[in-house]
Structure 1
Amino acid sequence: MNALKDKLPPLGTLGPVIALLMACAFFATQSDRFLTGQNLSLVLQQVMVVGVIAIGQTLIILTAGIDLSCGMVMALGSVVMTKFATELGMPPALAVLCGIAVTTLFGLANGLLVTRIKLPPFIVTLGTLNIAFAITQLYSQSQTITDLPELMTGLGNTFTIGGTEVAWGVVAMLGLYLVAWFALRETARGRHVYAVGNSPEATRLTGIPTQRILLGVYVLAGFFYGIAALLSVARTGVGDPNAGQTENLDAITAVVLGGTSLFGGRGVILGSLVGALIVGVFRNGLTLMGVSSVYQILVTGILVILAVAADQLSHKASR
């Protein structure tokens, strides 16, 4: 019996999956178009950017931190890579790497401020959010960058499976989740991330370099924001300086709905994908029902509060 129990997914993972299935069942009764392959593919395309940002956000929240700057850092990365390619004439692949390098440097800056100067992650990333926003607007002159090379928009292209168009960016997102899941579950570094979130001091006393782990988490999160920037460019076909203004909250919402504890040390990376899908399904389903976008935001807010309340109660019960 215990062996069977160990093989089953934890309740914290099953809960979001059940919520996702219930949401799909509800919206399927409200609209005949909801369960069509074309619509479900659209949902995946709509969540692929936030889904990849949520990978980095999950890593940080697992260490009991938070990153408010992720959306704007992603937007800066997209502007850098598109302007480097269109205005500087840089080869597209190199321009993309430069954009990812910028987002990774922001992750490094966040990590150094948190680990070396001991500033609270909330304050640090609130500051870098504003810095990234200002740099994005100044560098782009608040203008959208168009006429992009094919390589930058390639992940927005689709292929057909069973008559349904699926974007390559969705495949990239799913692949990144599998890699992150394996790294957290099967590698020593991944287990150390959980240990730091559970108890930094106890982890330090066992000889694990907690500050190095924390710094690495923020740097890796910045890298994922750069990948998300490329997906954003691929999906929209432009470098948009006004992107990323809600993605930070959407990513945090996805992580919380996916069962990752804001207190750190508990959660499954695949749950964040489920959380992103929950948000995407609700927004898509309500749109098909003709519900105003204001109510969609209201529902998302309610879901976040319920998820955080459940996390709080679970944390108190485990103490």
Structure 2
Amino acid sequence: MSQQVFKSALPLVLESGEELPELEIAFTTIGSLNPEKSNVIWVVHALTGDANASEWWSGLIGEDKFYDPADYFIICANLPGSCYGSTSPLSNNPKTGIPYYYDFPQLTPRDLASCLERLRKHLGLEMIHTLIGGSLGGQVALEWSVELGKKLQNAVIVASSAKTSPWTIGFNETQRMAIESDCSWGEHSETAGKKGLETARAIAMLSYRHPADLARKQKEVGEKLDHFKASSYLRYQGQKLAKRFNALSYWTLSKAMDSHDVGRGRGGLKKALNQIEAKVLAIGVNTDLLFLPEESQQISANVVRGTYKEIISPAGHDAFLIEYQQLAYLLKSFYLEQS
């Protein structure tokens, strides 16, 4: 695995009209380009993911897995706004010499796609075989698919949407309210909002799971008045994320997810999706409560060459990260249908 950082001194004008005066993108690559440079698999991570796709998607990417580095050149970049090496609220603002903190500009999935496009050009990759992402990563991948045109052969959009629903925005807003309620929020510190982030993650976990899945996995034995398994589970998940992630980045990227609308400035959702020239596989999860299967179906129905497939799982939204066998089967079927 190769881990690198791309640095660009050119300002990036954002959808909001603000700009990032400089840009750094941390990224990893595994595998090698073939002579034709036609074997590029570009992976886009979800909200709290990082550039190490072979770790968080280990059942799909790696030696003897579906995307084997012996056959493919696999790249994954840490999205700007995140706290794993790319430009983020904790980065120094070159105009002031101090970290951005709360002055970090608003980002949208389209802005994030523009960042990835700048990296693609830097790497000299003229063709992407497959662009794949789930959740927020799927939103970014969909935006980029519109812009890539003939430079993209296949787009795989997993458990995502063409426009963020009020339901999803509502979940994200409650999480940001939890961060705001932390008395340290507003401080110019890397740890600002850390306790609030724990609560935000607990709220998020309820949207990532299905009630039946929680009922099965957190089932109580005997009768209780307190100290329930579900309570301990959510507290643990909140503490676990707060140890590795940052509240400012969480705030920034959840806001980016809220702003997602592939049809903005393109004549509406249907017209925008119709511009995508790549073959598109939209994958939904039958129990997903955050991004409903109908939202994936909407994508496949409005692109020129779209296919819809569904993961059947009790796990809810997070099934896209754990149902490797089903994902591999759906991907194999998608590619075979083209041959």
Q: Give the structure-2-normalised TM-score.
A: 0.27
Higher normalized strand content (fraction of residues) = 2
Higher normalized helix content (fraction of residues) = 1
Higher RCO (C-alpha 8 Å, min separation 6)? 1
Q: Give the structure-1-normalised TM-score.
A: 0.28
